[in-house]
Structure 1
């Protein structure tokens, strides 16, 4: 198709997409006008979240962050505008609209004696929050501390406990979501892409929870504004920092220490810094030893009647990461934000080799080997990420918002593996140096090195436009330039593979959230990307639907097409373990990957419970694999590794079940996932085979119990073992130049499975108050409480015609501890009233109960809003932080969103520790 034809097709699609919306606007506007204005308090403070409605009609809107509002399609005539906001007295304004012009009506609200009433459950919070949209989950870092960990709050490890996400990959914080692989996930941090998310053997993710405001994950069927990946999206928003008071903190565990600072920049901005670094300790040594704690000695039966050998790996690792974020309001409509991330890891999986000549004895007790063998397998890996973004947010008017982003990412990975063998005289212990290679045992490995580097420069513009109360448009453009280098050297001087590619993606997207009636939302969208390496345009139509059958029951569905241009390939190596590297699709040896998503589900939600079921199917094409499996690393110098790229397709399908208890002292969930991931690479296997990350059954239990200041939690995971390809023999080939090559023979592709995986983790933590404005959290976690020996992978090597097998295990029983401290300076406004209007109970963050006519316990206190969302209120007082999760609201209009720093008075009562309570909040000037 030519350029003109493609252009005509795009124009036609845009016209078809927009005409119904524009026609509707024109029809409505023929006998209607608009009303706009600003709502403020008596002191001039602009008020966001004010519900503006026209009495006697269904026309309404809500003021934005700057207090502005716009009522569209208002019938001509005389009527009354009603402005309402919790804590403020309702205000009615008479308006006469005589023509189709826009009338400006500014409104001033006075503080009411009481703000609002909501039903809440005290001192509890959801560990996760499921969105109304299908496959969308949100996690707050403040709740992660309640879950078992290795001493660090970790967002990605918490996400692995959600339905549809594998929780058995201890050696990678990457997310295997609904049959996808970590490289198929788009991971964004403040607009820039993170290409590797692992720290410290994969035990930690690359993200410091102290630097994160929230995380939203789209497990599939994601919106048109996201592109470049075929599985899922993880969108991480950095912490904005304090705009009213300095805050500092830090923590230490047996593995690392961390620190952060949140500082105001005058009254218009904030600065945040957070850093982590690991350190050598007996505990890290314990993890190193446990990482592959298995019985050493002879393994299973070898070839030719002899036995294989089993060695344990004792890796060592170190890491660091830093985050920094600056947010500043240039004007009432313009905000700039800059964000920085840098992190690096060093992993040393080297191990010694010590084999006595008796190991090679045959059935009659004789050994063909006269020497002992000793040496070392050197295995070093170094990787890291650097990311930087600059964002400008502009509120053009009441209905139009834009975000301009320039982002840069740099990922690198270096891998080196060599085998150094020494032959030792068993009588004297001295080294034996053979006169020629044939005099000593033959070693099945020599040495290799790999280097992979990826740079990403992205410029994008995102726009939100409200056309009417029932149509909300999102559209934008993005340009991404990638440069990827990968080289693979044998014996340090032979370059087997060397590629250096560059490519640019040019993308446009458009989507409309249409609300045809209050109980239904339909979001069609379209994304198109021109990729200059293939000189083709790839179109991705997408659609999602939400229908509320009742207040508690909703149905949801989504579908779409997705493409990926940068792929992380697996170089399969059964001798020494698989390695991954990033490459750009070129449309030839490495095709552009694509996927089609179909999702459907239903949710039943009450104030305290959520039952959710979702089914999914993903059809993949253009998958790539670098399969040097049958050659291991012993490849001739003139061998072309470029011929070992294979192309295939795949299917991932399954069904997820979730039962969640959201509120109360005891919260948590149970999930079960039944899934299948199957690949078909005709050049590797005549039949479809299970993907390496396939797991038929996965069952998870997450539970958290709060008692006074203590939080006890536990998680249990069970999953079917992962498949792998097992060698069944080998043949030694001698070439004319005298070099020998051991050609391995394999069974069916991924025809064997590792044993089933299961693990129990436990934790306990307690919060302490430090002075008037600080708090500390001290806790202990038990990882793998019953010391299950879960196998991570198997490695193989060949020495003297013997297959050496190594079981690399996950962590065994491990205890860790942590201490986190948070300090902040009280705002000057905190002196405006007493900290409590009751008597403080010793060692408690709650005041002593007052008498109530209905025998309920009544409490009240003063404090500063730290965070407030539609279902969560966090108040910082002089005696600590109070946190509430809101249930079914019993308020008029819409709950307001108070900015951090708002000084409030909270009054609430409850019948006992478990009952739902009523809370009244009053804003203090």
Structure 2
């Protein structure tokens, strides 16, 4: 299947569906926010007293076929009051405005308002799928920035102990295995401030759809999950301006209508800074300076262990222009740009009393027990990183008739990452020779090491997505997607080029799925076919999901699917630099196309005040890639012996991820919240890395989370708690003998685990009115009891001894913020 054949096939499908001439009773329309005029994506439309349910699309448009005259439609959307609308004819076009939960604004549409909606509710909208709005993040603990990705990390099945990244590790998957879309352009890196913030400003977000697995044929190119984010269009009713300031960042939003509300424009921007107040608060609590804080701690190695915390800053901006035409078409142009800079530089000095070859002219190993004056060491590390994303999309929504609508999207994305690392080490030996003839240069030694790493990714995508309502039982989705990707990766260590790649690929995709709605059963079979140009292969991906209503409150769910990934972020394991990764394209050989097969079954029960879910999942991985350092014996040139040498190469393996998730939520009343528990196991099998299967880096067998929220008048109080089993790591045992240069002796691959991770966050938010607008004042405490959770460990070899630097996550961190919006 090449591009030409895919286009011809798509056009034939399109012609076939548009030629359907059967006339059916149709009730459709648009659902929007009564206050701002924003359309509301993925709202639910149900024919009252029946099991028939429809869902609005991303633009808030909906269609329901064969609705009896006199029937009542019930429209619901998380965070809004539900409404009931009486159908007065068998062909109607409705404009429905929903009231924000708690709003007192009168509705201009003749509807019956059904109270009781909660903006603090997480809504499960399908198998392993959740609908999330940015409102739910407002009262949760934060560092001055509401972060919807941090909220998703509080769900079962999503790692909450991955503090170093706002990216999601979903059901044992890695961060790169998530398809992240913002207004239909792909975002390849989602971090700010070393993982404390996501790359997405909550002021720019209207809706988020999270699918933790088993997602439909519309989505592809990733093996784990989909995060589909819809950005705000902007206020169609009136001009609005707002902003917020915290101890870490400032944030501003401007939105305005034009052309009598037919057009809207919205822009958000934020930037972090290192304030004096922040440093003073942190210093008074922790007793140490915040900038590159370094301290010594006990260690199993002779040179000791040191701790360090890096510093960084970021900026980002979103802008979106939307215009609604007289014929109902909608055009939008969305733009994003953001970048980070990270400084992990540090200076470490100390001394050793262990006997070395340079001490007293004698030799002895570090554990021989003989002591002498030893040596002093001073290590200066310059470690600078920067990374960022740019994305843009142009989208046209066109409704051909009451039964067929299409989205035409052209998007582009760019991701860059640069890291420069240089280490200068000075060692001064303390000898017993005090004679004037001794050469002082013999008593000192200097070494340098360096690495340079650059990664650049460009993505240009064109896609056409269509929904066709065949009849009241069948809703067809079909589409065409063309993606051009170009990825450069360069790695140089100690002036030697290790990797220098440039890959280009075209991926051509067709998909078709059919949502079959029966009385108590919804079945959605689908198929996705992708041609990948690098190896000229076609990848067929069958998909199937089912939902069965056991009774009015209990539903059974299940899903199955095959998923392939062509653009991969390959893990690069390094004892000196810690865990790293880089984006590259699969070539079918050195880096194979990865595959995952999903199996999911579950059930949900919804009572008056509580909802409960349970899901079991199993994923089978094929063609996983890792880039590691490997010590191998190599024969001497004279053929009479062997030495150990260091090789760096790609490795290929398989894996499995299995587990069970439990979720309990209280959605109504002043006291709300949820609790989630996940038991899982993620195991990899890389024959060239380990002789036996081992736990993956992201394996956390037990993870427990609690979110509690309480409304007390104008105050919102909340707390979150996360507990997780410590992640596995490969233990460093010492320095391998007879290796030049010196290398490490390590234990079993990921045979040890860090201590358990746990953290408590607290917050209090006060709401007020000022100058005709709404404001909030909040205090958050991150890591309230100052738990030292370890991230990773870096190692350096100095004169046959190991220096250990423990890189920890952030400790006790208070934050204060104030925000205000005109409307």
Fold equivalence (TM over 0.5) = yes
Counterpart-to-counterpart distance in 2, 1:292 and 1:404: 48
1:731 to partner: Cα distance: 2.9
In structure 2, C-alpha distance between the alignment counterparts of 1:552 and 1:667, rounded to whole Å? 20
Aligned residues of 2:64 and 2:472 also touching (Cα < 8 A): no
Identify the residue that residue 811 of structure 2 maps to in structure 1: 812
* Length-normalised TM-score, structure 2: 0.84
1:495 is the counterpart of 2:497 = yes
Q: 1:360 to 1:346 in 2, by over 3 A?
A: farther
User: What SS does the corresponding residue of 2:822 show, helix, strand or coil?
Assistant: strand
- In structure 2, the residue matched to 1:513 is 515
Task: Give me the whole-angstrom Cα distance separating, in 2, the residues matched to 1:57 and 1:687.
Answer: 55
CA offsets 1:834-869 (integer angstroms, 9 cap, x no match)? xxxxxxxxxxxxxxxxxxxxxxxxxxxxxxxxxxxx
CA 1:37–1:240 in structure 2 vs 1: closer, same or farther (change >3 Å)?
closer
Q: Residue 684 of structure 1 corresponds to which residue in structure 2?
A: 689
2 CA distance for matches of 1:222 and 1:640?
45
By how many angstroms is 1:626 displaced?
Answer: 0.3
Q: Deviation per CA, 1:45-79: give whole Å up to 9, x if none.
A: 9x9999999x999999999999997856x9xxxxx
Q: Does 1:787 align with 2:814?
A: no
User: Take 1:359 and 1:62, find their aligned partners in 2: how far apart are those partners?
Assistant: 71
Partner of 2:373: 367
For 2:555, the equivalent position in structure 1 comes to: 554
Greater displacement, 62-71 / 151-160 = 62-71
Q: In 2 relative to 1, CA 105–129 (structure 1 residues): closer, same or farther, beyond 3 Å?
A: closer
The C-alpha deviation readout for 1:94-145, integer Å capped at 9, x for no partner, is x9xxxxxxxx899999x999944444348x53242221x1111121112201
CA distance in 2 between counterparts of 1:588 and 1:684 reads 17
Matched with 1:218 is 211
Shift of 1:625: 0.3
Partner of 1:353: 348
Q: Tell me, yes or no, if structure 1 residue 648 matches structure 2 residue 653.
A: yes
1:658 alignment partner, one of 656, 663, 674: 663
In structure 2, the gaps of 5 or more residues are: 31-36, 75-82, 97-105, 357-365, 432-437, 633-643
Q: What whole-Å deviation, never above 9, does each CA across 1:859-897 have from its counterpart, x for those lacking one?
A: xxxxxxxxxxxxxxxxxxxxxxxxxxxxxxxxxxxxxxx
Shift in Å, 1:308: 3.2
Distance 1:241-1:576 versus aligned 2 partners, 3 A rule? same
Q: CA deviation at 1:311?
A: 1.8
1:323 aligns with 2:326: no
Aligned counterpart, 1:150? 143
Cα distance per residue 1:440-467 (max 9 Å; x no partner): 3475x61111111111010000000001
SS at structure 1 position matched to 2:599 = strand
Displacement after TM superposition at 1:663 (Å): 0.7
2:477 is aligned with 1:484: no
1:802 aligns with 2:805: no
Match of 2:123 among 123, 129, 142: 129
Displacement of 1:496 after TM fit? Answer: 2.2
Q: Deviations over 1:763-787 (max 9, x none)?
A: 1110001133x01100101111111
Aligned-pair CA distance for 1:313 = 1.6
- Residue number in structure 1 paired with 2:622: 621
1:296-307 paired onto structure 2 within 5 Å: 296-300=296-300, 302=301, 307=302
Give the direction of change, closer, same or farther, for the CA distance of 1:496–1:295 in structure 2 (3 Å limit): closer
| Equivalent residues in 2 for 1:1-20, closer than 5 Å | none
- Pairwise CA distance, 1:38: 8.9
Q: CA deviation at 1:290?
A: 6.0
Q: Distance in 2 between matches of 1:298 and 1:712?
A: 39
1:470 pairs with 2:473:
yes
Task: Specify whether residues 724 and 676 from structure 1 end up closer, same or farther in structure 2 by C-alpha distance, changes over 3 A only.
Answer: same
Aligned equivalents of 1:496, 1:277: Cα separation in 2: 36
Match 2:380 to one of 376, 381, 384: 376
Evaluate the alpha carbon distance shift between residue 620 and residue 252 of structure 1 in structure 2; reply closer, same or farther with a 3 A threshold.
same
Offset of 1:607 from its aligned partner?
2.8
What SS is found at the alignment partner of 1:201? helix
Does residue 343 of structure 1 match 2:345?
no
Q: Which SS does the other structure have where 2:516 is aligned?
A: strand
**What are the equivalent positions in structure 2 for 1:384-463 lying under 5 Å apart?**
384-423=388-427, 440-441=444-445, 443=447, 446-463=449-466
Residue aligning to 1:911? none
Match of 2:640 in 1: none
Does the 8 Å CA contact 2:631/2:647 hold for their aligned counterparts? no
What is the match of residue 101 of structure 1?
none
Aligned counterpart, 2:543 = 542
Matched, 1:182 2:152: no
Aligned match of 1:201 = 194
Structure-to-structure mapping, 1:38-49, within 5 angstroms: none
CA distance in 2, matches of 1:174, 1:129: 21
Q: Which residue of 2 aligns with 1:171?
A: 164
Alpha carbons 1:661, 1:667 under 8 Å: kept? yes
Cα 1:593/1:63, change in 2 over 3 Å: closer
The two structures, once aligned, show a CA RMSD in angstroms of 3.9
TM-score normalised by the chain length of structure 1 = 0.76
Q: 2: CA distance between counterparts of 1:63 and 1:169?
A: 34
Secondary structure of 1:311 counterpart: strand
- Decide whether aligned partners of structure 1 residues 438 and 563 sit closer, same or farther in structure 2, where only a CA change above 3 A counts: farther
SS in 2 for 1:343: strand
Tell me, in whole angstroms, the C-alpha distance in 2 between the residues paired with 1:709 and 1:319: 32
**Structure 2 match to 1:251:** 244
Note the alpha carbon deviations across 1:307-359, whole angstroms, 9 max, x for none.
Answer: 13212223121110000011101233211001101000000101102123557
SS of corresponding position for 1:183:
helix
Residues 614-670 of structure 1: CA deviation (Å, up to 9, x unaligned): 000000000000012549xxxxxxx99996100000000000001110111000011
Please give the residue correspondences for 1:564-583 in structure 2 after superposition, counting only pairs within 5 Å. 564-583=565-584
Q: 1:696 to 1:283 in 2, by over 3 A?
A: farther
Residue 367 of structure 1: CA displacement?
2.6
TM-aligned CA distance change 1:466 to 1:349, over 3 Å = same
* 1:344-396 deviation line (CA, Å, top 9, x unaligned): 00001011021235577974441343xx3324111111100000100010011
- Which aligned pairs between 1:16-165 and structure 2 lie closer than 5 A? 34-35=24-25, 81-82=69-70, 115-121=110-116, 124-131=118-125, 133-165=126-158
Distance (Å, rounded) in 2 between the aligned partners of 1:597 and 1:52: 30
| Structure of greater relative contact order (alpha carbons < 8 Å, 6+ residues apart) | 1
What SS does structure 2 have at the residue aligned with 1:308?
Answer: coil
Distance 1:213 1:630, change over 3 A: farther
Match of 2:719 in 1: 714
The corresponding residue for 1:822 is 821
Hey, what's the Cα distance between the residues in 2 that align with 1:160 and 1:667? Answer: 18
| Structure 1 residues 181 and 289: CA distance shift in structure 2, 3 A | farther
In the alignment, is the contact (CA less than 8 A) between 1:572 and 1:629 conserved in 2? no
| CA spacing shift, 1:69–1:166, aligned 2, 3 Å | closer
Asked whether the equivalents of residues 525 and 545 of structure 2 are also in contact (C-alpha less than 8 Å), the reply is: yes
Gaps of 5+ in 1: 75-79, 96-103, 428-433, 632-638, 735-739, 825-925
Taking a change above 3 Å as real, the CA distance of residues 58 and 183 of structure 1, as seen in their structure-2 partners, is closer
Distance 1:341 1:458 in 2: 16
Which residue pairs with 1:530 in the alignment?
531
State the partner residue of 2:770.
Answer: 770
CA distance in 2, matches of 1:452, 1:752: 31
Aligned match of 1:278: 272
Q: Kindly indicate whether the alpha-carbon contact (under 8 Å) linking 2:187 and 2:413 is maintained by their aligned counterparts in 1.
A: yes
Deviations 1:487-509 (A, max 9, x none): 11123x43222111101100000
- Whole-Å Cα distance in 1 between the matches of residues 44 and 383 of structure 2? 61
